[in-house]
Amino acid sequence: MRLAHTMIRVRDLDETLAFYTGFLGLEEVRRGTIGDEATLVFLADEQRSYYIELTYNHDGREYELGDQFGHLAFTVPDLAAVIADVEARGWWYRENPGRYIFVKDPNGYDIEILQEK
Protein backbone atom coordinates (compact mmCIF):
# COMPACT_ATOMS: atom_id res chain seq x y z
CA MET A 1 0.00 0.00 0.00
CA ARG A 2 1.22 3.49 -0.87
CA LEU A 3 0.01 6.81 0.48
CA ALA A 4 -1.59 8.69 -2.44
CA HIS A 5 -2.65 12.21 -1.43
CA THR A 6 -4.14 14.52 1.18
CA MET A 7 -7.22 16.58 0.31
CA ILE A 8 -7.88 19.98 1.82
CA ARG A 9 -10.87 22.21 1.16
CA VAL A 10 -10.04 25.76 0.15
CA ARG A 11 -11.99 29.02 0.15
CA ASP A 12 -10.10 30.84 -2.62
CA LEU A 13 -8.48 28.60 -5.23
CA ASP A 14 -6.33 31.28 -6.87
CA GLU A 15 -4.92 32.60 -3.58
CA THR A 16 -4.28 29.06 -2.34
CA LEU A 17 -2.55 28.07 -5.59
CA ALA A 18 -0.32 31.15 -5.34
CA PHE A 19 0.76 30.04 -1.85
CA TYR A 20 1.39 26.38 -2.68
CA THR A 21 3.04 26.97 -6.07
CA GLY A 22 4.62 30.41 -5.62
CA PHE A 23 5.82 30.08 -2.04
CA LEU A 24 6.16 26.33 -1.45
CA GLY A 25 7.24 25.54 -5.00
CA LEU A 26 4.76 22.76 -5.70
CA GLU A 27 3.63 22.16 -9.26
CA GLU A 28 0.06 21.79 -10.49
CA VAL A 29 0.02 18.34 -12.10
CA ARG A 30 -3.68 17.72 -12.69
CA ARG A 31 -6.97 19.61 -12.60
CA GLY A 32 -10.51 18.37 -12.95
CA THR A 33 -14.08 19.11 -12.01
CA ILE A 34 -16.93 17.23 -10.44
CA GLY A 35 -19.73 18.56 -12.62
CA ASP A 36 -20.68 22.05 -11.48
CA GLU A 37 -19.97 21.10 -7.86
CA ALA A 38 -16.21 21.41 -7.39
CA THR A 39 -12.79 21.97 -8.91
CA LEU A 40 -10.00 19.60 -7.87
CA VAL A 41 -6.36 20.61 -8.30
CA PHE A 42 -3.54 18.17 -7.57
CA LEU A 43 -0.12 19.50 -6.60
CA ALA A 44 3.20 17.67 -6.22
CA ASP A 45 6.86 18.30 -5.56
CA GLU A 46 9.61 17.41 -8.03
CA GLN A 47 9.68 13.74 -7.04
CA ARG A 48 5.92 13.37 -7.51
CA SER A 49 5.78 10.71 -4.86
CA TYR A 50 2.96 12.38 -2.92
CA TYR A 51 0.16 14.79 -3.82
CA ILE A 52 -1.98 17.45 -2.20
CA GLU A 53 -5.49 17.80 -3.57
CA LEU A 54 -7.04 21.25 -3.29
CA THR A 55 -10.83 21.02 -3.41
CA TYR A 56 -12.75 24.19 -4.19
CA ASN A 57 -16.52 23.82 -3.88
CA HIS A 58 -18.40 26.21 -6.18
CA ASP A 59 -21.37 26.76 -3.85
CA GLY A 60 -19.52 29.29 -1.65
CA ARG A 61 -19.80 27.26 1.53
CA GLU A 62 -17.71 28.22 4.54
CA TYR A 63 -15.45 25.84 6.44
CA GLU A 64 -14.22 25.70 10.00
CA LEU A 65 -10.83 24.25 10.78
CA GLY A 66 -11.28 21.22 12.98
CA ASP A 67 -9.04 20.36 15.88
CA GLN A 68 -8.22 16.85 14.66
CA PHE A 69 -6.05 17.91 11.72
CA GLY A 70 -2.53 18.98 12.66
CA HIS A 71 -0.44 20.30 9.78
CA LEU A 72 1.26 19.63 6.45
CA ALA A 73 5.07 19.40 6.62
CA PHE A 74 7.72 20.21 4.02
CA THR A 75 11.54 19.98 4.14
CA VAL A 76 13.90 22.55 2.68
CA PRO A 77 17.68 22.67 2.23
CA ASP A 78 17.95 26.26 3.51
CA LEU A 79 15.53 27.19 6.28
CA ALA A 80 17.18 30.59 6.77
CA ALA A 81 16.34 31.53 3.17
CA VAL A 82 12.72 30.51 3.71
CA ILE A 83 12.55 32.60 6.89
CA ALA A 84 13.94 35.59 4.97
CA ASP A 85 11.26 35.06 2.31
CA VAL A 86 8.49 34.82 4.92
CA GLU A 87 9.71 37.98 6.64
CA ALA A 88 9.92 39.85 3.30
CA ARG A 89 6.27 38.92 2.69
CA GLY A 90 5.34 40.22 6.14
CA TRP A 91 3.84 36.90 7.22
CA TRP A 92 3.54 35.69 10.79
CA TYR A 93 5.56 32.62 11.66
CA ARG A 94 6.51 30.60 14.72
CA GLU A 95 10.05 29.29 14.91
CA ASN A 96 12.12 26.63 16.61
CA PRO A 97 15.47 28.18 15.68
CA GLY A 98 17.49 26.20 13.17
CA ARG A 99 14.97 23.35 13.05
CA TYR A 100 11.59 24.47 11.70
CA ILE A 101 8.99 27.18 11.34
CA PHE A 102 5.22 27.17 11.11
CA VAL A 103 3.28 29.47 8.76
CA LYS A 104 -0.39 29.48 7.83
CA ASP A 105 -1.72 29.01 4.31
CA PRO A 106 -4.49 31.33 3.05
CA ASN A 107 -7.13 28.97 4.52
CA GLY A 108 -5.61 28.87 8.01
CA TYR A 109 -3.96 25.46 7.71
CA ASP A 110 -0.67 25.12 9.58
CA ILE A 111 2.33 24.47 7.35
CA GLU A 112 5.53 23.21 8.98
CA ILE A 113 8.77 23.87 7.12
CA LEU A 114 11.68 21.78 8.38
CA GLN A 115 15.40 22.18 7.81
CA GLU A 116 16.67 19.11 5.93
CA LYS A 117 19.15 17.07 7.93
- Residues serving a catalytic function are 112
Q: Phi and psi of 42, rounded to 5°?
A: -105, 130
Instruction: State the DSSP H helix or E strand holding residue 39, giving kind and residue range, or none if neither.
Output: strand 38-44
Q: Are 52 and 35 in contact (CB under 8 A)?
A: no
Specify which residues 73 forms β-bridges with.
Answer: 112
